[in-house]
Amino acid sequence: MLHANIAGKGYSEIHWSDGVLTGIRVLRAEDPAEPYASAGFVDLQVNGMAGVDFGQPQLTAQTVVRTLEPLWASGVTTFCPTVITNSRENLCRAFRVLEEARRLSPEFAQCAPCYHLEGPYLSPGPSRGAHDPERMHPPDSGEFARLQQAAGGRIGIVTIAPELPGAPEFIERWSAAGVVFAIGHTDGDARDIERAASAGARLSTHLGNGCPELIHRHGSPIWAQLASEQLSASLICDGFHLTPEFVRVAYGMKGRARCILITDSIHVSGLAPGAYELAGMPVELQPSGKVAALRNPGSLAGSTLRMNQAVARFQRMARTGLDTALDAATVNPATLLSRWPVGAGLTAGQPANVVLFRPSSDELIVLATYLNGRLVTS
């Protein structure tokens, strides 16, 4: 049992048994002197952290499991290990290692219900970001089936550039198999976005990024994605990827239910500033925490953001209440992953994945994280 504020509801008594929430009883109005509780955070895009890159050739199951503790420390109890553009052989190897980590660690299996494939089905043009354009190509169902086999069928999200040849048909085919398609790293136009959404795409990957530095004032794919009622928007609120004005516009267009916070963290998160590599491409972690892609000037290469920071910064940038910001890190991403067993809020019957914290303007100060009712960090 836990006593804490629940944003938008009040100071409450939270009960769980055998890893499952059994009841929430509101006792009185929110008490600012007491900590807050939320469902554990859900991050749909984690490329790595603390020196571990999910796409690195040296990846082992043991190193994969090392990412759990820093994730728990930021309040994350569910995440999608993300593998970016690489050769078919390296992608297959990465997914096989992730599957090995599931067998090694039941906790990893609980926390990582599925994986996110970001590339190689992306645009090699100005929107490529830190991805290697020489390894990008149009979607290939035969190749993807082999990747799914290596991943045990757990590739749950695919980011794709919808203007690539065969992309709408690829989206339609694999959406029917339960894969969530996201639009990202695209140099396409509004018609490409519309065709992808009609084919089944449901998400924009880090909206406002993965796009050319200079865009047409009317023909930008950003406007088409903002306007689409079929697409939720994932947002990186680290202060580098998006301005407060963009976040407010995205929130105004997408509303409370279709904003999703991600970190897009990479392996340099938690490391010292300096020169590194991401999938063979040179990147630089600057003292400010910004990660620059050195071969594509002006582009970023993921982030060092943590989800407890993302929630507080989204709340400040979008000028929302804490309850709305928490939904963007819990209910909304969990709803998108509806075919996977992900906790979707503090309600009876949900997994007892809970984070206890104190709010502040720049980050939520995590006091404790519970996974299936078991304390994993404090």
Sequence spans of domains, the chain: 40-343
Homologous superfamily in CATH for domain 40-343: Metal-dependent hydrolases (3.20.20.140)
Alpha-carbon separation of residue 225 from 18, 220, 237, 329 (angstroms): 42, 9, 18, 20
Q: Tell me, what's the pLDDT at 278?
A: 86
Helix (H, G, I), strand (E, B) or coil at 125: coil
On whether the pTM is more than 0.85, the answer is yes
Whether 118 has a pLDDT exceeding 90, the answer reads yes
Dihedral sign of CA atoms 44, 217, 244, 254 in order: negative
Whether 176 has a pLDDT exceeding 80, the answer reads yes
Residue 75 pLDDT grade (very low, low, confident, very high; cuts 50, 70, 90)? very high
DSSP 282: E
Q: What is the mean pLDDT of the chain?
A: 94
Question: Average pLDDT in the 93-101 region?
Answer: 98
What value, to the nearest 5°, has the Cα angle with vertex 96 and ends 93 and 101?
Answer: 125
Q: Tell me, what's the pLDDT at 134?
A: 92
**% of the chain at pLDDT higher than 70:** 100
Cα 242 to the chain's mean position, in Å? 15
Q: Tell me, what's the pLDDT at 343?
A: 72
Question: Average pLDDT in the 326-333 region?
Answer: 97
Q: Tell me, what's the pLDDT at 212?
A: 74
Residue 318 pLDDT grade (very low, low, confident, very high; cuts 50, 70, 90)? very high
Q: What is the tens place of the pLDDT at every residue in 211-260? A: 877 777 887 899 999 999 999 999 999 999 999 999 999 999 999 999 99
